[in-house]
Amino acid sequence: MSENSSSRKMLSLVLLAAGVVGMVVSLVMDFSGGGSPVRGPLLIIGAIAFLIGLYLFPTVEHHRSIINFIFLFPLLFTFAVTVIIPLLLGIFYSFTDWNGIKFTGFIGLTNYTTMFKDPAFIWSVLLTFLFVVFNMVLVNLVGFSLALLCTSKLKGVNFFRAAYFLPNLIGGIVLGYIWQFAFNNVLVQITAAISGHQNSVLANTKTAFMAIIVVYIWQYAGYIMLIYVTGLTTVPKDVLEASQIDGANAWTTLMKIKVPMIASTITICTFLTLTSAFKQFDVNMALTNGTGSVTDFFGSYLTNGTQMLALNIYNTAISKNSYALGQAKAVLFFIILACVSIIQVRISNKKEVEM
C-alpha cells in the first residue's frame, strides 16, 4: 500500500507541477503578445492536469475539500480568465505604449496625464455624471410609479406589466436606431405641422442629451418596475389592513409603511440604475454617436457634445487606434464606478437602518 501511495503521490505532484507550468506559460505567451496558436489549448490542458493531480493527491482528511474545490474550479477559473486577469493586464498596459498586440516599453503616467489634458474626455466624464444623476432619479421614480400601478386592483394588470417590460427586451443598438428614426422623421413632421419648423431634437446638443435620457428611461424603467413589483408584493397584507383601520390614507400608507418595508429593494434598484447608467454605450452610439457641438469648454471647441464615457473609451481605443490611452481611461472608469457604487450602497444601507 505504501508503494502505491508513494507512486500515486508522485504522479499527483507531477501533474500538479505540469498543470501550473502549463497555465503560467500560456499566460506568459499571451502577456508577451506572441500570438502562438497553442496558448489556448495549453491553458486548458494545464488546468485539466492540475485538477487531475489535485484529485489523485493521496489525502484523507482534506479529500472532501479537494472535491468541493474541483467542482468550484470551472467557475473560479472562468472568472479569473475573463475578469481578474484581463483587469490586471489592463492596468499594466495602461502604463505602456501598447498598440493592441504588443508594447515596446513603459511610459509611466504619460497616458494618464494625456487623458486629463484632453477637454473632450473631461467633458465626457462630466456628461456621464450628469446622465447618471438624472437617470437614478427618473428611472426609479417612473419604475416605482409603474410598480404601484401594476400592484393595484385595476383590470388587465398582467397586460400592463408585460407592456411596460417589453422595451427592455429590445437591444440597445436596435432601440437607438428606432428612436433615431422617430426623432428625425416622425417627430420632425409633427413639429413641422404644428409650428412650421423642421428641427430635429438630435440636431441640438442639449435636446439630444435629453433625448438619450428619454430613450434610456423608456427602455430601463420596465425592468426596474418588475423589481419594485416584487418588493411591493412582499409587504404583509395584514399591516396594510391595520393601517386602513387606523385611518391612514393612501399617501401615508405609501410613505410610512410601503417605502420603509421595501428599503432593500430601493437599494438594489438604485445600484442597478447607477451602474447601468454609468456603462451606457449602445443607445448613445446608435442615437447620436456622441456628436454635438460645445462652443466653449475650457477654451476649446468640442464636437463630442453627447459622447459619454464608455463611448469615449471605445472611440479612443478602436477609432483612434490608441489602445493604451483607451485602457488608461478604462482603468479610471473602473475606479470611478467602483468608488461611486460603494458609496451609494453604504448610504442606502444606512438609510435602510434608519427606516
Residues whose CB is less than 8 angstroms from the CB of residue 133 and which lie 6 or more positions away in sequence, other chains included = none
Residues in the chain where the model's pLDDT stays below 50: 1
**Which CATH architecture fits 115-354?**
Orthogonal Bundle (1.10)
- Only one residue has cell 432619479, namely 137
Residues whose CB is less than 8 angstroms from the CB of residue 124 and which lie 6 or more positions away in sequence, other chains included = 304, 307, 308, 309, 311, 312
Residues whose CB is less than 8 angstroms from the CB of residue 90 and which lie 6 or more positions away in sequence, other chains included = 327, 330, 331
- What does the domain layout of the chain look like in residue ranges? 2-93, 115-354
Residues whose CB is less than 8 angstroms from the CB of residue 114 and which lie 6 or more positions away in sequence, other chains included = 325, 328
